[in-house]
Structure 1
Amino acid sequence: MKVKRGSTTFLKGIICLIGIAVLTVCIVLLPEAARRDAIERPGDYSLYPLLVCAYGICMAFSVALYHVFKLLAYIEKNNAFSALSFQSLQVIKKCAFTVIFFILLAIVYLRVHAQFTGDDAAGPIALGLMGVLATSIIAAMVDALQKPLKNVPDIKSKDE
């Protein structure tokens, strides 16, 4: 399977840009949101559980991006059907489930917080459920990509 180097290089560039965006969110935007919330409502720590979920999502997403980058490198080197690519796909799938876990944790927190404060959390909860759906689709796609790799002989011997 001969892959054009330009297409994988383009995808690697896109992954790097997404990684920079995630890093910006973690370093600039989330601390700024916490700072503004602390100034507006001193003594109210209701934002912190959501920050923990946001940082958990960012870390899992960053690990998944790194493994997608590694997977593209394997594809460039014509090692798409190797044990290393299978392991990268497994890590990406675990990261997808971790992101789903943190989104569901945030949804539960928003629902409980809305019960006590009387706020309407329908919008953020709907967005969270859309995130769960999108991440589930990615996890299903990764699982579908893993199925042909399970039949490769060198992966079978390491998997059993």
Structure 2
Amino acid sequence: MSVKNGSTTFLKVIIFLIGVAILALCIYWLPKMAIKDAKAHPDSAYFLIPFLICAYGFCITFSIALYQAFKLLTYIERNHAFSELSLNSLKVIKRCAFIVIFLILLGIVSLAVLAKVTGEDAAGPISLSLMGILVTSIIAAIMDVLQKPIKSFLDKKEE
């Protein structure tokens, strides 16, 4: 096994473990937390629906991006890093990043409405959400930067 294959295999294992963690979050922890919060605050339990929609949308979108990253590593292993397939994977990851940003913004709006109704302070969760938007924006920018050399290589190849 060469160093390149070893590092891509390591990254694939990490992606797989993150995917398992996301699956566990969706199946076990999110419903458990929603039920616990609904029992603790029955007067505002209807606000859980937008949060659950955002959370499951985030998990699904993140899982799609993980799958595309896994595929991209497979293309790199097979020496197809500069191919149309890898360019498509990068485009899908970038679109997923924008969807995640939208879902986080939707969660911030829901949280602001909930804070206004209940009178609680939502500054902490909102600041964490804004940090998540920053990180996701950086990932989208990295995907855009990685797309440019592949596009130029494919354009030169067509000529």
Counterpart residue number, 2:34: 34
Displacement of 1:155 in angstroms is 9.0
Normalised by the length of structure 2, the TM-score is: 0.92
Alpha-carbon offset, residue 39 of structure 1: 2.6
1:103 aligns with 2:104: yes
Matched residue type, 1:69: F
- Once the two structures are superposed, residues 39-84 of structure 1 have per-residue CA deviations (whole angstroms, 9 ceiling, x without a partner) of 3334631122111101111000000000000000000000000000
Aligned pairs (5 A) from 1:57-72: 57-72=58-73
The 3-state SS of whatever aligns with 2:81 is coil
RMSD after superposition: 1.8
- Structure 1 distance, partners of 2:128, 2:154, is 42
The residue aligned with 2:134 is: 133
Matches within 5 A, 1:43-82: 44-82=45-83
TM superposition score normalised by structure 1: 0.92
| Structure 2: gaps of 5 or more residues | none
User: Does the aligned pair in 1 maintain the 2:84–2:154 contact within 8 Å?
Assistant: no
Distance between the aligned counterparts of 1:38 and 1:27, measured in 2? 17
Q: Name the count of aligned residue pairs.
A: 156
Amino acid of the structure 2 residue aligned with 1:10: F
Q: 1:40 to 1:153 in 2, by over 3 A?
A: closer
Aligned to 2:93: 92
Structure 1's consecutive aligned runs of 4 or more residues displaced over 2 angstroms after TM superposition are 37-44, 152-157
Amino acid at match of 1:105: L
2:115 aligns with 114
Distance between the aligned counterparts of 2:154 and 2:52, measured in 1? 44
Between 107-116 and 58-67, the greater mean CA deviation after superposition: 107-116
